[in-house]
Amino acid sequence: MARRKKNTPETAVNPLADNVHIQGAGSIKDEQVTDTLKENFMPYAMSVIISRAIPEIDGFKPSHRKLLYTMYNMGLLQGGTVKSANIVGRTMQLNPHGDASIYETMIRLSRGNESLLYPYVESKGNFGKAYSKNMMYAASRYTEAKLAPISKELFEDINKDTVDFVDNYDNTMKEPTLLPVTFPSILSNVTTGIAVGMASSIASFNLGELCETTIALIKNPDHEISETLLAPDFVGGGYVIYDKEEFEKIYSTGRGSVKVRAKYTYDKSYNCIDITEIPPTTTSEAIIDKIVELVKSNKVRELSDIRDETDLKGLRITLDLKRGTDPDKLMAKLYKMTPLEDAFSCNFNVLIKGTPKVLGVNSILKEWIDFRLECVRRRTQFTLNKKADRLHLLEGLEKILLDIDKAIKIIRGTESESDVVPNLMIGFGIDKLQAEFVAEIKLRHLNKEYILKRTKDIETLKKEIAELEGILASKNKLKKIIIKELTEVSAKYSGERKTQILYEVEQFDDNAVVEVPDYPVTLFITKEGYLNKIRTANLRMSGDQKVKEGDEVQRVFECSNRDEILAFTDKAQVYKAKVDDFADSKASLLGTYVATKLGMEPDEKTVYICVIHEYKGYMIFAFENGKIAKVDISAYQTKTNRKKLLKAYSDKVPLVACEYIEEDTELVLCSSSGRMLLLNTGALAAKTTKDTIGVSVMTQKKKHVLESMHFYQEGEFEKAWRFRTKNLPAAGALPSPADNTAQITF
């Protein structure tokens, strides 16, 4: 087996060496970056801009135009639907970019997909939904389509030289460069596209308003657009928020944004909200995912469930509300925090005679009027030429019909067939076209009736030609034709607005206090850190509280759903939450693991949980060295919704126990030496610093520490005075057998 030669200076210089057959391959060429961009990148960029992404004044990109023109040639304006695969295959004669891209183009133009305000394709089968990512369309072999009735307005008089035609990619067919649309389709449907270095995003408008505005502009170029064109109109409905300044900016510059809100209804019987119309820039899945995220982060607490109930009847997202929730206030909140209110960014970039231009609505409509005037002028000229040609032939026929016998004599006297036409031209003084027309007349037409009809046609044609010439000579007459067509289109296809206009909008106030339902609840807190919240009204019907194996209920609180919870951890931190943050549960369930719910660190454990109705009272912290810290509970109150406070207590010495007291009381301190001290918390001064180290209360012998602290129960000691002291710190006293017995039996 032959071994390949190594690259050498000789082979590198000679491009033909080492079996290299491409001229210049492997050689290095010095070239300016700017030259490379001009030669390679710029042609590509211009091709994307002109031939793919940016719509032209007829409202279509080339891919749309090729598909619709193919369907028109297939006769799909009439009759029934045909398989989409058939249409896609035929379209590839004009658009050789693969069947997938062609079918996706058809999907977007179809009525079933609900992407366009005025769809151009009638669909049969599953064409997916624009408002849902999960509702995908079926394959082209399963679906069927035809042109919608409004598509007739796209091809009106297309065969009368109204637009230019060019060769397709392989020069086997002709296709139109533009469609002679009879209405401003460029603004009747949403069109978006991303090119190289630029993009286009055109909003849709109601056809009735659009035609009325165009007519007004034809009559008066200084017409105020906003008087007749109220606001954009989208296929998905909803509400468009009226902003006069922003709309006038869009109308004049072509740039700006339109805020669109979802539409909802409240079902009182089921206490739920049904969302049936959403903005065109989002999907039902995106909305649901965002709401779920807000619920998990406790930013939205008014919902008990959310479901996507979209079916054949249309879009529907259902929100189940908690008892006492105001649906309007909740929706005002969701409008601000979710895509239920979204902005459609306008960038009215349109190709005008091959040049991309960002134009306002006013300028686009004036460009369309000029385009349509040219279409009507060319159509009129085409009709005039046809009638002029017909008149020319009939005028030659008229000369011959005045003396038919002479014509017959000339024809019969001509020996060669090829000389018939020249002899007729000489005999009657007519040109070749007229003579050819006369020579082809059948014998059955050489009668008086035929002659009179043709003579009458001459007079009619002369009147029609004069009328057409008058139209061509008068721009006002051309405008009247366009106005008439626009009026007819509006009457046939326009309807009520789908997107309603909101002139006054209720905005959600972030600083507003969220109304939390107030009802009595009972909290069960276990040793392992589980919290179960049960409505007190349902507690009688519940059985024993369920706990994990080895766990037990440590504390029970009877409180209000509006109260707050403070959870102190072994890392000297406190986490705050509302009782309402925890869902109502049952005794048969374990409840919620507090550490996970409050977002604690992985190795962080809860050491104490208390419920605060109002920030009055104190936190008592007992440390191993016998010091006690009395902290005013108001130190944990915050004006903001902070969920986590650092340095909740001192971490200089290990914490033994802590208790929340609403007012001063007596506590029992127990040392590892066996001594016990009865402390009245009124003897301690309250501090506002959370991590204070406290004051010495119970002195400890060497190698002994404070072990525990609990509330004093009346009768716990036989002689309570033995454990009390006037001066602090104190060592406490050893309990007698009677004291121990009293404590156990109490």
Residue tagged 């050498």 (tokens)? 8
The first and second tokens of residue 559, run together, are 């409180």
Q: Within 10 Å of residue 3's Cβ, how many Cβ atoms?
A: 5
Distance CA 590, CA 571 (A): 25
- Edge-first strand order for the sheet with 676-680 is 676-680, 666-671, 706-711
Q: Note if 519 is an active site residue.
A: no
CA distances from 359 to 151, 203, 347, 372, 718 (A): 26, 13, 8, 18, 95
Do residues 648 and 628 lie in contact, with contact meaning Cβ atoms separated by under 8 Å?
no
Beta strand ranges found along 551-605 (DSSP E)? 553-560, 564-569, 574-578, 592-593
Residues 6+ apart with CB under 8 A from 591: 524, 526, 530, 531, 532, 533, 585
Distance CA 147, CA 80 (A): 10
Q: How far is CA 58 from the centre of its chain?
A: 26
Cα atoms in the 13 Å half-sphere on the side-chain side of 695: 14
Which amino acid is residue 348, in one-letter code?
F
Q: Within 10 Å of residue 440's Cβ, how many Cβ atoms?
A: 7
The first and second tokens of residue 437, run together, are 């027309």
Which amino acid is residue 721, in one-letter code?
W
Residues 6+ apart with CB under 8 A from 142: 125, 126
| DSSP state string for 333-349 | HHHHHSTTEEEEEEE-E
CA distances from 718 to 676, 678, 739, 743 (A): 13, 13, 5, 9
Do residues 145 and 90 lie in contact, with contact meaning Cβ atoms separated by under 8 Å?
no
Distance CA 538, CA 607 (A): 29
Going 165 to 166 to 168 to 173, the CA torsion angle's sign is positive
Distance CA 175, CA 173 (A): 7
Q: What is the CA radius of gyration of the chain?
A: 44
Which of 69, 118, 120, 142 is an active site residue?
A: 142
Distance CA 550, CA 646 (A): 31
Distance CA 657, CA 669 (A): 10
Active site residues: 142
